Homo-oligomer: A and B are copies of this chain.
Amino acid sequence: MTMDSPIPLAIVGVGKIARDQHLPSISRTPAFALRAAVSRNAEVDGVQNFTDIEACLAARPDVKAVALCLPPEPRFAAAITALEAGCHVLLEKPPGATLGETDVLADLAREKGVTIFATWHSRFAPAVQPAKAFLADRAIRKVTITWREDVRRWHPGQGWVWEPAGFGVFDPGINALSILTEILPDEALLRAARLEVPENAATPIGVTMTMGIAGGGYEIDADFDWRQEGPQTWEIAAETDGGLMSLTGGGKTMAVDGKVVSDEPEAEYDGIYKRFADLIEAGESDMDMRPLRLVADACLLGRRVAVEPFHE
């Protein structure tokens, strides 16, 4: 691949995230050229449209990369199809409905000699790398994650978030865990979790997780909540020997002892497509499952508590 010959790409799943984020970022990334779109009931202007991925890949053997923006459950079969056809694959988050699936995909990509990239968009927020650089040199004493938003505002009418594969409040919470596992110099290990599950739901509306590191150096507390009205909070704070580092706005702004040291415009999906191109160029994959594994460990080890039914 050179910049002179962009990689022909197909997008699969043309919903809100595809229109708001993927399509604009693809058009701004010179390494890719959108050639086809796959959707059961939507179309993308200016490219060939299909209703299923098999038909798309059969008709367009020029397509060499596929961005999968489907929900986790149908995504697995689509990823198998794309990898079997020898395409590089980009997965929206979460990368699968189970950990088992993600291992099968990583193995198949290796066997086929193609790139697979499990994206965690929050890792591409502008202050994440500055926060990582700050923590690399510091003695950490305590980390606190506060991720509180209003499910009625962000998932109106989306009953699937309360079904088993919908992850509940882990859907936003996994964004925090994807930042945590990126910026922390140590591996975060789950010690205990409490899952508050509405009586009429299968997934939690509130979660607290207590994590530690091997050797027990410091504690990491996480608080995910979907019942927050008014201002929304997406913050990670770390007490260190170099001051209190806070990452706010979901990774947009970094401050130390209250003084802002990084606050750049958001460009998460441009960063994702840049990284996808770099991985393909290098012949590498990126399937970091630590955020999903922490969620699975919280479900494995966590204590569930029934709370009042949720009604929209």
With A100-B294, A189-B98, A294-B100 already in contact, the answer to whether A80 and B215 are too (CB < 8 A) is yes
How far apart are A256's CB and chain B's nearest CB, in angstroms? 29
Q: For A297, what are the chain B residues with a Cβ–Cβ distance below 8 Å?
A: 98-100, 296
With A80-B214, A104-B214, A189-B104 already in contact, the answer to whether A98 and B304 are too (CB < 8 A) is no
Q: Is the C-beta of A165 less than 8 angstroms from some C-beta in chain B?
A: yes
Q: Is the C-beta of A137 less than 8 angstroms from some C-beta in chain B?
A: no
How far apart are A217's CB and chain B's nearest CB, in angstroms? 12
Count of chain A residues near B, Cβ 8 A: 33
Q: For A302, what are the chain B residues with a Cβ–Cβ distance below 8 Å?
A: 164
With A299-B300, A300-B299, A304-B202 already in contact, the answer to whether A100 and B293 are too (CB < 8 A) is yes
Q: Is the C-beta of A169 less than 8 angstroms from some C-beta in chain B?
A: no
How far apart are A123's CB and chain B's nearest CB, in angstroms? 18
Closest to A190 in B: B98
Within 8 A of B (CB), among A159-207: 164-165, 187-190, 192, 197, 202
Q: Is the C-beta of A44 less than 8 angstroms from some C-beta in chain B?
A: no
Q: For A307, what are the chain B residues with a Cβ–Cβ distance below 8 Å?
A: none
Q: Is the C-beta of A55 less than 8 angstroms from some C-beta in chain B?
A: no
Closest to A187 in B: B104
A105-130: CB near B (< 8 Å → 1, else 0) gives: 00010000000000000000000000
**Interchain CA distance A293-B108 in the complex, whole Å:** 19
Q: Which of A108, A215, A296 has the most chain B CB atoms closer than 10 A to its own CB?
A: A296
Q: Is the C-beta of A59 less than 8 angstroms from some C-beta in chain B?
A: no
Q: For A104, what are the chain B residues with a Cβ–Cβ distance below 8 Å?
A: 187, 189, 214
**Interchain CA distance A127-B295 in the complex, whole Å:** 36
Q: Which of A80, A190, A297 has the most chain B CB atoms closer than 10 A to its own CB?
A: A297
- Given contacts A80-B214, A104-B187, A202-B304, 13 further A-B pairs with CB under 8 A are A98-B301, A100-B188, A100-B189, A100-B293, A103-B293, A104-B189, A108-B214, A165-B301, A295-B300, A296-B299, A296-B300, A299-B299, A300-B300
Closest 5 CB pairs of A and B: A98-B297, A299-B299, A296-B296, A100-B189, A296-B300
- What are 30 A-B pairs at a CB distance below 8 A? A76-B214, A80-B215, A97-B301, A98-B189, A98-B297, A98-B300, A98-B301, A99-B293, A99-B296, A99-B300, A100-B187, A100-B188, A100-B189, A100-B190, A100-B290, A101-B189, A103-B187, A104-B187, A104-B214, A108-B214, A164-B192, A164-B301, A164-B302, A164-B303, A197-B304, A295-B300, A296-B296, A296-B297, A296-B300, A299-B300
